[in-house]
Amino acid sequence: MCYEVTYESVAITVSKGTNYCYVTNLTNGTEYTFTVKSVDTSGNKSEGVTMKETPVAIDAGDTMKIELSAPEALSNTSTPVTAKITSASKIKKVVYKKNGSMNAAELIADSEAYEATKKEASDDSEWIFDADEKTTYTVAAIDESGREETAQIFINTIDKVPPAEVRNLTSYYSETGNFIELRWNDPAATADPYDSPFDHVVISYTIDGGTEVTTVPKTVAKGVCAAAINGIDATKECYLITVYTVDKLGNVSNGKLTRCYITNAINATFDNAAEKISGMTQSGTVKITGEAPNSEYDDVFFNIRKALNSLEAGIYVTIDFSESEGLVGLMVLASPAADDNTSLVGLILPRSVTRIYSKALNHCTSLVSVIFEDTESEWFRSVHDFGGYGESIGSMSATDVQANANILRSEPYSYYYFYNENYTAE
C-alpha cells in the first residue's frame, strides 16, 4: 500500500507510514489543487481527498536560524542536544539524523530521520533530542511559511569504550596464610579529555574450571595495584581470576586473566599442559595424561618448552608422562642453546618411550633425574637411539652420556638418572 499525491499533471508516490510530502518548484501566488489517494497492492485507488493551497513568497530578510548545543559532561549512554530556532513563522517540524544531509528538504523528507520534540509544549523555539553516539548530527527545521534550514553539531562527549586492561598481572598462593596475592600495574593514563579516566578494578574468580563466579566484595582503587583473596580452598587445584578495569563512567573492560594453582600436583592433558605450566606460581609436578601427539615435533612440545622458560626463577617443575598414551620419544623439551631452561628438574616417562634425542634435554641446567615408569631391565634395553647414538641404554657408556653434559648413573633394579652436580634441591 502507498499514497498518491497529484496536482496539475504531476503525481508523487508516498510510501506507507509517511503522512506527508514536500512539493517544490511551485509558483508563488498561484493556487494549486492537491489530491491525496490511497493505493492498494493491486493498484486500486481510493476516491481521494482534495484541498487547495497557494504558495506565498517569503521575505528574504526573514531567515531561519538554528543554534545547536549540548552539555560538556561525559556520558556512556546519551546526552541531550538542544536546537534553538528563530524564524518569522511558527516552527512546523524539526528532524535530526547522524551524518544526515545538509539539504534541508532532503533531510526533512528522509524516512530514516528522527523527529525532535519541543522542550516546552507551548514553545516552538526550543527543540531537544538525545544523542547516543560520538559522531556528527544534522538537524533540519521547516516553519509554516516553508522556510527551511539545517545545522550540524559534533558530539564528542559520548564514551562507551572501557579502559585498557591492567598490565603485568601476577598471582601467588601463600600456603601459610591461605590467601592468593594479586599484583598488577594500572593501565596507562589517557590524554584524551573525552575519554573517561580509569577509576578502579573489580576482581572475580572461578575454581577448577567451574561456572560459578565469585566476585571479591571490595573494589580496588586506582593506584593500589594489589589485592588479596582470602579463605582459599586448599583442596582445589586452580583459581581462575579475572581483573576488570572500570572507568569513572562505569565502562567495564573484558578483563585480564591469571591462573593461580593451589596444589603442587597439577593434572593436565597434552592440550592444556602449556597453559597450566605457565600459570604455576610455586614448584610442583605436572601430570600429563591422555593421547600423546604423533610427532615429537608437534607444537604441543614446543609450547610446553615455552611455558617452562616463562616461569619465574625458583619455580621447579617435574613433568610426569607416566600415564600418557602413545608417547614414543622426546625431542624439544630443552631450550635453545642461548636460553637455558632452569625450571625443569625431573621427567617421569612411560614404557612406550623408545627414543630420547640428543637435543631433548640439552640446556636443562636444573635437571635432576629422568625416571622410567617400568624398572624391568629388559625394557630399559629396549630404549634405543638414546642421545642420538642409535644405542640402547643398556649398552651406553657413561662417557657417551657425558658428551651431553650429564652423568649416567644406574642402580640395580632401580631407576636411571641424569644427575646434574650443579643443582641443589631446596
- Is the distance from CB of 208 to CB of 259 less than 8 angstroms? no
| In-domain check, residue 41 | yes
Residue 400's pLDDT band, with cuts at 50, 70 and 90, is very low
| Residue count (the chain) | 426
**Do 121 and 87 belong to one domain?**
yes
| In-domain check, residue 89 | yes
Percent of the chain's residues with pLDDT above 90: 44
Q: Which residue has the cell 546526552?
A: 79
Query: Exposed, middle or buried, 364 (CB in 10 Å: 0-12/13-18/19+)?
Result: buried
Distance CA 123, CA 138 (A): 22
**Do 204 and 70 belong to one domain?**
no
Please give the pLDDT value at position 61: 58
Q: Which residues pair with 215 in a beta bridge?
A: 204
Q: Which domain holds residue 368?
A: 265-419
More confident residue, 401 or 310: 310
CATH number of the CATH domain containing 76: 2.60.40.2470
Residue 403's pLDDT band, with cuts at 50, 70 and 90, is very low
| In-domain check, residue 107 | yes
More confident residue, 102 or 171: 102
| Reported pTM | 0.58
**Do 325 and 385 belong to one domain?**
yes
**Do 279 and 321 belong to one domain?**
yes
Domain count, the chain: 4
| In-domain check, residue 14 | yes
**Do 99 and 44 belong to one domain?**
no
| In-domain check, residue 412 | yes
- Where residue 136 falls (left for φ over 0; alpha for ψ -120 to 50; beta otherwise) is beta
SS3 assignment, position 186: coil
CATH number of the CATH domain containing 217: 2.60.40.10
Q: Which amino acid is at 54?
A: T
**Do 395 and 288 belong to one domain?**
yes
| In-domain check, residue 424 | no
Please give the pLDDT value at position 423: 32
270 CB neighbour count, 10 Å cutoff: 22
| In-domain check, residue 58 | no
End position of a domain, from candidates 261, 281, 296: 261
Q: Is the pLDDT of residue 32 over 70?
A: yes
Please give the pLDDT value at position 269: 94
What's the pLDDT tens digit per position in 259-284?
888 877 789 999 999 999 988 887 88
201 CB neighbour count, 10 Å cutoff: 30
Using alpha carbons, select from 86, 34, 73 the residue that is nearest to residue 55.
Answer: 34
**Do 79 and 100 belong to one domain?**
yes
Please compute the mean of the pLDDT values over residues 17-27 and round it to a whole number: 82
Q: Which residue has the cell 607444537?
A: 299
Which secondary-structure segment (H or E) carries 318? strand 317-320
- Is the distance from CB of 66 to CB of 104 less than 8 angstroms? no
Q: Where are the alpha helices (DSSP H) in 199-298?
A: 273-278
C-alpha angle 323-345-295 in degrees, rounded to nearest 5: 50
| In-domain check, residue 357 | yes
Distance CA 193, CA 386 (A): 65
End position of a domain, from candidates 200, 235, 261: 261
**Do 214 and 290 belong to one domain?**
no
Strands 198-207, 265-269: pairing is: unpaired
- Is the distance from CB of 415 to CB of 372 less than 8 angstroms? yes
State the chain's mean pLDDT as an integer: 81
